[in-house]
Amino acid sequence: MNRATVNKIFQKHPVYVKAGMIAVISIIIFGCVYSKDNGKKLEKDEKGREILRRNESGKDELKNMKVKIDEKQEDISISVSGKKYDEEELKNAFSEAEKEVEQAVLGKNKSLDEVRSDLNLITSVPEKNMKVSWELDRYDVMDIQGHLQQDNLSTEGTLIKLTVILTYEDEEERYEFYAKVFPSELSADKEEMRQLQEKVEEADKKTKTKDYIVLPEQVNGKKVIWAYGVQTRAYGILVMGIGFAVFVIISSSQKEKEEKKKEFREMKLDYPQIINKFNLYIKSGMTIRKAWFKIAGEYEKDQKEKEQISAKACGRKKAYEEMVNVMYKISGGASEGECYEEYGIRCNLSEYRKFGMMLSQNLRKGTRGLTELLEREAEDAFEQRKNLAKKAGEEAGTKLMIPLFLMLIIVFAIVIVPAFFSIRI
């Protein structure tokens, strides 16, 4: 199959081709995941016996297996316990876990001899499958999460004893270490603000029975000037108002464009019908004027009947509305040829401009040959209508692809995410 044939198939059936491509990609991914999940072979030990590997991290696993006895095959789930430490391995594991805890507990601090930010009191060592719990001798300067209580710290430093309890199965290992904690280091400006905050709190305590609080006038010998902070609520309202105004403008503009687009599409669909009617009336012996008045009059009569039933059911069509306007202008004494040309200009589509020019020229030259021109124009208009309908169908097909892609993503997520989580490296 050559490239030209492939392009032809794609242009003729784009939706089916895209659907086929999605199906092929899905099958390929399915094959890869299926072979990954179901292509594993059982390992064997040195004696040739089939074995199942235990999880090195010590976690229990549930393995789905198939077993065949004689000619019968059944599915069975086997619970495989994680690998446990022997006595010597457990001793080494506790020792390594202690080092990991001491390293992790520092957090942002460089050393336990000078702790100025919160400690990281971890609760587990996943690599060793161990749980970690803590005991402190000074809960007034640090809580069980490792957060420092800044108000209770002194600049000389406070020594605190931390007891680590490592738990593995029924085994437990305890050990202790010390940390010296200090208040957080503040810049000169922050220290000044902290002192000011303390003065405000002190003033608040002293004047709780009064209707007001006296604000400090100075700190560290420097004059303090107070003012209300800027309230941002008004800015929020302004931003929301401007945003909503922009949204309304964009929405209105977009709506206008959509209505214009819909109007042009409707006019393109109406054009073959107008041409065929006009050609039919010209062939029956009517003049251009009578044919025009006949089409416009029928449309106007039909609209009035619809208005009597329901105002909503009365759908105005621009091409016919402009024909009605031309009819009244000609009846009022306007130049017939100029009215036809203006009709094409107001419709603002090449087909209608061509139609208006054709009528204007044949009005001056006579109606001879007009039927042949209208027949050719009707054929062209019919082809354009078919192409327009085909394009509309393709656009609808493209819109249908969006939910299909969303469904495909969901299917991929359902299949691939569990597969990734089940991979053990």
End position of a domain, from candidates 127, 158, 182: 182
Cα–Cα distance, 325 to 306 (Å, whole number): 19
Q: Is residue 335 part of a domain?
A: yes
Q: Model confidence over 114-163: pLDDT tens digits?
A: 888 888 888 888 888 888 998 888 888 888 888 888 778 887 888 889 89
CB 357 within 8 Å of CB 350? no
Q: Model confidence over 65-78: pLDDT tens digits?
A: 777 787 777 777 77
**Is pLDDT of 235 > 70?**
no
Amino acid at 136: L
Residue whose structure tokens are 């991914």: 29
Dihedrals phi, psi of 348, to nearest 5 degrees: 60, 35
Question: What pLDDT band is residue 345 in, cutting at 50, 70 and 90?
Answer: confident
Which pLDDT does position 183 carry in this prediction? 82
Q: How many other CB atoms sit within 10 Å of the CB of residue 295? A: 20
Beta strands in 93-144 (DSSP E): 124-125, 130-136
Structure tokens at 279: 């050609």
What is the number of domains present in the chain? 3
Same domain, 216 and 284: no
Which residue range is the domain that position 386 belongs to?
257-307+314-391
Same domain, 207 and 322: no
**Is pLDDT of 189 > 70?**
no
Which pLDDT does position 187 carry in this prediction? 58
Same domain, 300 and 371: yes
Amino acid at 180: K
Same domain, 190 and 136: no
Same domain, 113 and 205: no
Amino acid at 393: G
End position of a domain, from candidates 221, 242, 275: 221
Give the helix, strand, coil percentages of the chain, each rounded to 5. 60, 15, 25
Q: Is residue 25 part of a domain?
A: no
Question: What pLDDT band is residue 425 in, cutting at 50, 70 and 90?
Answer: very low
* Sheet arrangement for strand 158-168: 124-125, 130-136, 158-168, 171-181
**Mean pLDDT throughout 306-312?**
69
Q: How many other CB atoms sit within 10 Å of the CB of residue 208? A: 7
Q: Is residue 11 part of a domain?
A: no
Q: How many other CB atoms sit within 10 Å of the CB of residue 194? A: 14
Q: Outline where 53-112 has alpha helix (H).
A: 87-105
**Mean pLDDT throughout 24-48?**
72
Q: Model confidence over 85-124: pLDDT tens digits?
A: 778 888 888 888 888 888 888 888 888 888 888 888 888 8
**Mean pLDDT throughout 367-396?**
72
**What is the model's pTM?**
0.40
Q: Which residue has the higher pLDDT, 393 or 197?
A: 197
Which pLDDT does position 421 carry in this prediction? 64
